[in-house]
Amino acid sequence: MAETYIGAPIKRREDVRFITGTGTYVDDIKLPHMVHAAILRSPHAHARIRDIDTSRAEALPGVVSVFTLKDIGELDATVPIRMYKIPGLDKYLQPSLARDEVRYVGEPVAVAVAESRYLAEDALDAIDVDYEVLQEVMDVREAMEDKVLVHEHNGTNLAGVHHVSIGDADKAFAEADYTRREEFRVHRFTGNPMETRGIVAHFDRGKGELRVYGATKLPHLNRQTIAAFLQLPEHKCHFEENDVGGGFGIRGELYPEDFLIPFASVRLGLPVKWIEDRREHLLAANHSRQVTCELEIAARKDGTLLAIRAQIYGDMGAYVRTHGGLVPCSTGALLTGPYRIPNYQAKIHCVMTNKTGLGTLRAPGRVESCFYRERMLDMMARDLDLDPVELRRKNLVTPEEIPYEIGFTRPSAHPTILDSGDYASALRQALERFEYDEMKGIRGLQEDGRYHGVGLSYFVKNTGGLEPYEGARMVVGEGGGVSVFLSIAQLGQGHETAMAQICADALGVTMDAISVFHGNTDLSPFGWGTFASRGTVMAGNAVHLTALQLKDKILEAAARHLDVDASGLTLEDGNIVQPGTEAPALPLGELVAHMRESITPEQGVPELEATAYYNSNNITHTYGVHLAHVAVDPETGVLEVLKYLVVEDVGRVVNPLMVRGQTVGAAVQGIGGVVLEELVYGESGQLLTTTFLDYLLPTSTDVPPIDDLVLEEAPSPYNPLGVKGAGEGGIVGTAGALGNAVSNALGIEVKDLPLSPDRVRAWIRARGDG
Amino acid sequence: MKPAPFEYYCPETLDEAVSLLEQHGDDGKVLAGGQSFMPLMSLRLARPSVIVDLNRVSGLDGIAANGDGGLAIGALTRQRALERDAELPARNPLLAAAVPLIGHFQIRNRGTVGGSLVHADPAAELPAVTVALGADFVLTSAGGERVVSAADFYLGYMATAIEANEVLTEIRVPAWKAGRLWAIDEVSRRKGDFAMVGVALWADMDGANCADACITLFGVGGEPVRVEKAEQRLKGAALDDATLKEVERIVSEELEPDSDIHASALYRREVGGVLTRRALRAAAERGTEGNGA
């Protein structure tokens, strides 16, 4: 065992049940008298609902209930915005079931509840909806013209605008030696956790309590919303997450179904299950990315960056969902990356279209902005005949300039500050490990008939913060066993292991004495959730602080028991010891046994527990480099990623196995998104990619082995552990590195994605020689 | 994603199966490996009211030599069984090379030869290969058997000559000609996906020159597409760069594919030509070695 648990490559405790298929996921929940819901979804991108007739469906055998918005009546609520509440967005919220109009294919219209999912789907077939089809608008540019309105009563498709203005960009542009303007596009795709969304809601009429299984990511906030919707006291609503098969930002946000299934259970007094099928997931769960950017750059001849200006357009879909303007705004938030760019101006547009609502997907906006910026830097290097690495090195923020305040890049009261880092060092190590210099000879047409190229991207990624706090409660019990109760949810990352490591070090007990519990709103009245790589930063520090408080309590109790001064005691490996004395060690378990037996009314209570919150608005920033080596078959346009490296400095590594797992998984997901995945809308606003036959996820044969190098050169000064989040660094730079690599290989300028064979062929054709 | 209600039959003899189909007419639908059909049912894109499951019918699988040195393949033979048949590469190397390109091994474990042929996905390998090989399909109904050539079987986008009361029971593949050159190649988005474009071809040589050839592409139309103009160009010619380049041009010109979300019509035309050229070159370079000759 290492000297500390933090930093040790400990296998995840969760793995045994995850890998052997013995986890308990929401679909494993089966309750007596449980009935099954299915949701009727709009087949039209835009239509007026003239009438809904559910009578045929209700008459079918086995059908328990069919309901529409009319039945929800005065409880009618909308999916609330929880962050990035840009003024105006709140006029575009989604009702639980369509009101008068449907605005995207997949919008919930009615709910059928039956004795089985089969029967429930039969009932959907028997619901008659009379639609008057309306004109749809699917393209952001067209939507900006306001000729077709997604929400007619609002008079515009431009739901909200946010401005960023730092320095004087216009002046910098006027004085610059060099400027360039380009338009970049990132396509629409989304996260596909292995486990789709799902809810089992059980309203117990006798107790007046609601239990909801399948909550994840943000169980407390979702409970708050649903309790208010159903007019129930929050403490009578119990949200349990169970095991979770991934989230990636998509799963666990509040959706219409989160209203509908608990509502059905309250209405029927029966447990109701709804499991999202993959078609529904692709149609109705948040889509992501699809941000377009007109980017301008200004520099001196020698490559010194002076300014950037950006017009950013987020394709928000038909309703603004829980994230508000996050996706396009986050694109603007870190557009300047790790570079010293004193003048920055951006206008961010949230534009409505007749598509599924936009939400977060692992490093939302940051993948996009890294692509735009890093592609632009390669173009600029080519224009100015500069080495692309030197160009970057010259402009990287130096350790002496850190903490480096970029300015107010978000709709938030806090400026964006790069908290710690040695950016040049990470770049140097990345180039060495990738053997970048040695690979200079392989570029262009090679003997295998393919064009080879190498691409680099540099990223910074905010982690932690965003929502201010997480808490932990810690209780010592029989035998010195420590129970850790977390306020934070999880999505399958491994909190049970990482939090036990953190607790063991701070408390001074062995890790096997610690059990970590999470995913139940009864464990803690308040909490936020797992997103923005904030788990280790927020919950990790909460566990650390709680353990330190608990340790003090334990030592005080031990001091009373031993009749010594607490200051002479410490806790090591689960034993209370008195350093510098001959006194025998007192095992924590013995102290507990003694307290349990000997407490008298005069002596108080056998309480060895502590609760603490880590509360901070400070955002940490990881940083690093992606490097890719690709080969393109010029005749078929087929791209192969031959070699891929991710370098990220995460401040301090809690568990290197888990960090590597996050990095590799994120890189694979990133490569998939850049090369394969796309949500494609066709004629009349129909989504054409509603199965995994057409929506292409990367498989093991589509990606190379991912190499990674995790650095700990710059612990965050903002939190006691010095940690930063490690969940997204592996994905942030993928579009930038691959876009640069393909451009480098073919001598073209990639400005939009995905890098599909058809698209690559089109670029080669346009180049004029192929 | 749950199928609409249907009646289910699992006959144990072929007679029983065809009489069920006779009885139910257009309402009946045959289930074999289910690798395409079950997802279509689950999405309610297919809503048959009667399913006749062939999986318990005996005598419909197996790979046998037929009298003239060719193969008689039972329609219910799993694709994986064909793939694992040690004799197949010698008996018919083109067919043997095509099978591993079908989906993934999990799919081939369950998927049947006949199921793939009757489902008739225009991007599937087996329909194109059976057309290229000049195979015959035995269609059995309560009234008896009839034999239809693969070329006549495919009638357009997912449309075939099979009648609602018929079951494809056997695929007869003519004997492999000694010395025949062959190749199959495809481009798909991922390994195991349906091809965006593919080609299966063979050429019989007379000395240095091509005596006869068959070039069949898949993923480029509603059904397997033979490019006879390109075959004609090959006849009497050596498989040299100039000929191959011209064959490439002819194929690109002759194809009339559609666009879909994975590739444009232009891409398919271009790459159809490229793959044909590459396949011919690979066939020539491989020569007759290991060709079953």
Residues B125 and B188 in one domain: no
Same domain, B71 and B167: yes
Which of B15, B32, B53 finishes a domain?
Answer: B53
Considering the domain architecture, whether residues B276 and B202 belong to the same structural domain is answered as yes
Q: Please tell me which of the candidates B2, B194, B263 has its beta carbon nearest to residue A758.
A: B263
Residues B17 and B81 in one domain: no
Residue A193 has pLDDT above 80, yes or no: yes
Which of A461 and A464 is assigned the larger pLDDT?
A461
- pLDDT class of A607 with cuts at 50, 70, 90: confident
Residues of A whose CB is below 8 A from B187: 636, 638, 757
Contact A638 B187 (CB under 8 A): yes
Whether B245 is covered by a domain: the verdict is yes
**For residue B189, which residues of chain A lie inside 8 Å, CB to CB?**
676, 696, 756-757
* Mean pLDDT value of segment B253-276: 97
When CB atoms are compared, the residue of B3, B190, B263 closest to A696 is B190
State the pLDDT confidence band at A770, using cuts at 50, 70 and 90.
low
Predicted model pTM: 0.96
- Are residues B152 and B115 part of one domain? yes
Is-contact A106 A280, C-beta < 8 A? Answer: yes
Residue A756 to residue B4, Cβ atoms within 8 A: no
- Could you say which residues from 39 to 98 on chain B have a Cβ atom under 8 Å away from some Cβ of chain A? 39, 43-44
Same domain, B40 and B79: no
Q: Are A123 and A112 in contact (CB under 8 A)?
A: yes
- Separation of alpha carbons A661 and A398, rounded Å: 30
- Which letter, b or e, does each residue of A103-127 get, where b requires 16 or more Cβ atoms within 10 Å of its Cβ? bbbbbbbbbbbbeebbbbbbbbbbb
Question: What's the gap in Å between the CA of B264 and the closest CA on chain A?
Answer: 7
Give residue A744's pLDDT.
Answer: 97
* Ordered DSSP codes for A130-169: EEEE------HHHHHTTSS-SSGGG--SEEEEEEEEES-H
Judgement on whether residues B242 and B191 belong to the same structural domain of the protein: yes
Nearest CA among A16, A26, A19 for reference residue A497: A16
Chain A residues whose beta carbon lies within 8 Å of the beta carbon of residue B274: 635-636
Give the model's pLDDT for residue A611: 97
> Is the torsion defined by CA of A217, A223, A229, A230 positive or negative?
positive
Please report, to the nearest 10 degrees, the dihedral formed by the alpha carbons of residues A137, A142, A146, A151 taken in order: 30
Tens-place pLDDT, residues A383-433: 999 999 999 999 999 999 999 999 999 998 899 999 999 999 999 999 999
| pLDDT at res. A610 | 97
pLDDT at A341 over 60: yes
> Measured in whole angstroms, how far is the alpha carbon of residue A263 from the centre of its chain?
28
Name chain A contacts of B194, Cβ cutoff 8 Å: 693
A118/B2 Cβ within 8 A = yes
Q: Which chain B residues are within 8 Å of A279, Cβ to Cβ?
A: 1, 43
Chain A residues with CB under 8 Å of a chain B CB are: 117-118, 121-122, 125, 277-279, 635-638, 676, 678, 680, 682, 688-689, 691, 693-694, 696, 698-699, 701-702, 756-758, 761-762
Domain that residue B13 falls in: 7-53
Q: How confident is the model at residue A467 (pLDDT cuts 50, 70, 90)?
A: confident
Same-domain pairing of B169 and B67:
yes
In our burial notation (b when 16+ CB lie closer than 10 A, e otherwise), range A423-448 reads bbebbebbbeebebeebeeebeeeee
| Residue B162 and residue B262 share a domain | no
Nearest chain B CA: its distance from A708 CA (Å)? 24
Tell whether B208 and B271 lie within a shared domain: yes
* Contact at CB, A702 and B190, closer than 8 angstroms: yes
Domain count, chain B: 3
Can you tell me the distance from the alpha carbon of B57 to that of A748, in angstroms, rounded to the nearest whole number? 58
Would you call A688 exposed, middle or buried from its count of C-beta atoms within 10 A (0-12, 13-18, 19+)? middle
Flag whether B291 is in a domain.
Answer: no
Decide if B261 and A678 are in contact by the 8 Å CB cutoff.
yes
Q: What is the dihedral of CA A622, A254, A666, A498, to 10 degrees?
A: 70
Q: Chain B: nearest CA to A533, how far in angstroms?
A: 30
Asked if residue B293 has pLDDT above 50, the reply is no
In a domain, B94, yes or no: yes
Query: What is the rounded CA–CA span in Å between residue A251 and residue A194?
Result: 11
Per-residue pLDDT, A766? 94
Domain annotation for chain A: domains and CATH numbers: 15-20+466-615 (3.30.365.10), 31-134+199-274 (3.90.1170.50), 138-188+286-394 (3.30.365.10), 419-462+619-770 (3.30.365.10)
Residues B46-60, mean pLDDT to the nearest whole number = 97
Count of Cβ atoms closer than 10 Å to residue A10 Cβ: 21
B58 falls within a domain: no
Nearest chain B CA: its distance from A118 CA (Å): 6
Do A682 and B193 count as a contact with CB atoms less than 8 A apart? no
Strands lying side by side in the sheet with A101-102: A101-102, A47-53, A128-133
Tell me whether residue B185 is in a domain.
yes
Global ipTM: 0.95
Which of these three, B147, B173, B199, is where a domain ends?
A: B173
Residue B155 falls within a domain, yes or no?
Answer: yes
Give pLDDT, residue A145. 98
Whether residue B191 and residue A701 make contact (CB cut-off 8 A), yes or no, is yes
Contact A757 B193 (CB under 8 A): no
pLDDT digits (tens, 9 = 90+) for B222-260: 999 999 999 999 999 999 999 999 999 999 999 999 999
Interval A471-505: pLDDT, tens: 999 999 999 999 999 999 999 899 999 999 999 99
pLDDT of residue B15: 97
Task: Give tens-digit pLDDT for A681-696.
Answer: 999 999 999 999 999 9
Between the CA of residue A584 and those of A447, A562, A642, what are the distances in Å? 74, 11, 60
Residue of A758, A763, A764, A769 for testing the chain B interface, max B β-carbons within 10 Å: A758
Q: Tell me the CATH number at B228.
A: 3.30.390.50
Both B67 and B169 in a single domain?
yes
Contact B261 A680 (CB under 8 A): yes
A707, pLDDT greater than 80? yes
Write the pLDDT tens digit of every residue in A258-304.
999 999 999 999 999 999 999 999 999 999 999 999 999 999 999 99
- Whether A536 has a pLDDT exceeding 90, the answer reads yes
Asked if residue B292 belongs to a domain, the reply is no
Of B173, B189, B213, which residue sits at a domain end? Answer: B173
Residue A323's pLDDT is 96
- CATH code where residue B31 lies: 3.30.43.10
Q: Are the Cβ atoms of B191 and A699 closer than 8 angstroms?
A: yes
Relative orientation angle of helices A541-562 and A495-507, to the nearest 10 degrees: 40
Residue A630 in 3-state DSSP? strand
Which residue of B106, B267, B270, B281 is the best one to mutate when testing the A interface, meaning the one whose CB has the most A CBs within 10 A? Answer: B267
The domain that holds B86 is classified in CATH as 3.30.465.10
In a domain? residue B293: no
Per the CB < 8 A criterion, the answer to whether A4 and A489 are in contact is: no
Nearest to B187 among A118, A691, A757 (CB): A757
**Chain B: residue nearest A693 by CA?**
B193
For A622, phi and psi rounded to 5 degrees? -80, 165
Using a CB–CB cutoff of 8 Å, tell me whether B244 touches chain A: no
Q: Could you give phi then psi for residue B200, rounded to 5 degrees?
A: -125, 130
Q: Does residue B230 sit at the A interface (CB-CB below 8 Å)? A: no
B187 in reach of chain A (CB within 8 A)? yes
Residues of A in contact with B2 (CB under 8 A): 117-118, 121
| pLDDT greater than 80 at residue A2 | no
Residues of B in contact with A700 (CB under 8 A): none
| Least confident segment among A271-285, A418-432, A453-467, B79-93 | A453-467
